């Protein structure tokens, strides 16, 4: 169970002078949000909990906070993403307690197959152990590279589902520390380097090659299905950190220049059922890059990413993973509770 640092949050709120706050939480921290609300109310703070499911720092509820008369936003579970926020925000990343070293130790043989020069990345859950992991690996003869990452991430070596800039290092292969396929498959697709995922909970190590092949094959399948599509719905998201209006307009223009029809569609949470009533032959998601990749089974129409449209129109040859990049990172997030004023928080 992750810890929520109640006292520290209260202190930050008092520093800001906030009297009314909105707490936003991912699915897995809802009970912590509820406990935090209870604690803060006991300290005289008015609290509203956001019931909207949150998938990332790309979707801060700062507009909702402002609208509800809140002085501050508490965003649980994710680290800060550089965005212009309308109220002061406290980001409370959830750090996992599991020790990452035993899993690395157990999988040294597999890690060696990456080569001697390895890139090391992880998610925010394990980021506080990245230096320890690096030391451990260097003590075992590896040359470890930890990428800076750009403005979408808070920490060196941190990857998001949509941003692998911290994995763009001059290494033979990439070692990802963390659970599941979601992040390391993205690392492998984006970097095109051998990628090994070491899971600190199970102690397992997984190579991404087969998953990458399977995913790219599926993506080409989507491109093929959209090949003769006439009418494209080009979808943008109103989530602040997913809004890529200029890129969407570029895709609409490209499609129209190539004789296809295209309309811009804006939505908050992107899911196929909401689109069912429209008369489009195919969709392009110019928002979270993971929607077309991970949710494709739920779409009854082909759904592409922007680079896949370029492949479809013959403007690109090699498969490219869609990423959202975010300019230069101008902060180094302190570990733990982190405060960001309204504005870009720099």
Residues that bind its own copies (CB under 8 A): 22, 27-28, 30-31, 34, 37-38, 41, 47-53, 63-64, 67-69, 233, 235-236, 238, 243, 245, 261, 263-268, 270, 274-275, 277-280
**Exposure of 280 by Cβ count < 10 A (0-12 exposed, 13-18 middle, 19+ buried)?**
buried
CB of 62 to its own copies, least distance (A): 12
Q: Which residue, 169 or 286, is less far from its own copies as judged by CB? A: 286
- Classify 252 as helix, strand or coil: helix
Closest approach of its own copies to the CB of residue 288, in Å = 14
> Using the 8-state DSSP alphabet, how is residue 244 labeled?
-
Both tokens of 145, joined, read: 């590279």
Which CB, 175 or 265, lies closer to its own copies? 265
Phi-psi region of 265 (alpha: psi -120 to 50; beta: other; left: phi over 0): beta
Tell me how far, at minimum, the Cβ of 318 lies from its own copies, in Å: 31
> Phi/psi at 58 (nearest 5 deg)?
-70, -10
**Least gap, CB of 252 to its own copies (angstroms):** 10
Q: Which of 164, 299 has the CB closer to its own copies?
A: 299
The secondary structure of 146-189 as a DSSP string is -----TT-SSTTB-BTTB-GGG-SS-SEEEEESSSSHHHHHHHH
Place of tokens 């089974």: 297
For residues 254 and 271, what is the distance between their CA atoms, to the nearest angstrom? 24
As measured in angstroms, the least distance from the Cβ of 301 to its own copies is: 13
Which 3 state secondary structure label does DSSP give 279?
Answer: coil
| Least separation in angstroms between CB 194 and its own copies | 37
Q: CB–CB of 343/94 below 8 Å?
A: no
Q: Which residue, 20 or 106, is less far from its own copies as judged by CB?
A: 20
Q: Using the minimum distance from each CB to its own copies, give the nearer residue, 70 or 197.
A: 70
Closer residue to its own copies in complex, CB, 27/317: 27
- Which of 43, 3, 45 shows the shortest CA–CA distance to 22? 45
Q: Which is nearer to its own copies, 201 or 278 (CB)?
A: 278
Q: Which run of H or E residues covers position 8?
A: helix 6-16
Q: How near is the Cβ of 276 to its own copies at its closest, in Å?
A: 8
């Amino acid at each position: 169970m992750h810890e929520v640092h109640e006292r520290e949050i209260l202190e930050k709120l008092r520093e800001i002078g906030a009297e009314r706050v909105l707490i936003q939480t991912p699915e897995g921290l809802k009970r912590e949000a509820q406990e935090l609300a209870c604690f803060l109310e006991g300290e005289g703070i008015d609290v509203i909990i956001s019931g909207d499911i949150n998938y990332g720092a790309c979707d801060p509820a700062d507009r909702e906070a402002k609208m509800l008369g809140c002085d501050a936003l508490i965003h649980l579970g994710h680290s800060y993403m550089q965005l212009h926020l309308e109220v002061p925000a406290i980001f409370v990343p959830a750090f996992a307690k599991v020790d990452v070293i035993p899993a690395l130790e157990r999988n040294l043989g597999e890690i060696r197959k990456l080569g001697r020069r390895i890139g090391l990345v992880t998610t925010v859950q394990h980021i506080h152990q990245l230096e320890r992991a690096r030391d451990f690996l260097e003590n075992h003869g590896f040359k470890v590279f930890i990428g800076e990452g750009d403005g979408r991430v808070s920490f060196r070596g941190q990857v998001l589902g949509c941003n692998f800039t911290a994995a763009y290092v001059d290494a033979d292969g990439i070692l990802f520390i963390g659970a599941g396929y979601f992040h390391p498959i993205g690392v492998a697709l984006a970097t095109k380097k051998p990628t090994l995922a070491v899971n600190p909970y199970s102690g397992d190590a997984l190579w991404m090659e087969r998953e990458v092949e399977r995913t790219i094959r599926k993506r080409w399948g989507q491109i093929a299905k959209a090949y003769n599509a006439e009418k494209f719905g080009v979808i943008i998201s109103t989530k602040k950190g997913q809004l890529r209006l200029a890129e969407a307009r570029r895709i609409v223009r490209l499609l129209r220049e190539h004789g296809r029809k295209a309309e811009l569609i804006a939505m908050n949470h992107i899911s196929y059922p909401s689109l069912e009533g429209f008369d489009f032959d195919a969709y392009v998601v110019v928002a979270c890059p993971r929607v077309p990749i991970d949710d494709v089974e739920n779409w009854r129409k082909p759904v592409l990413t922007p680079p896949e449209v370029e492949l479809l129109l013959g403007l690109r040859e090699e498969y490219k993973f869609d990423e959202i990049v975010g300019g230069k990172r101008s902060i180094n997030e302190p570990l733990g509770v982190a405060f960001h004023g309204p504005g870009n928080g720099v």
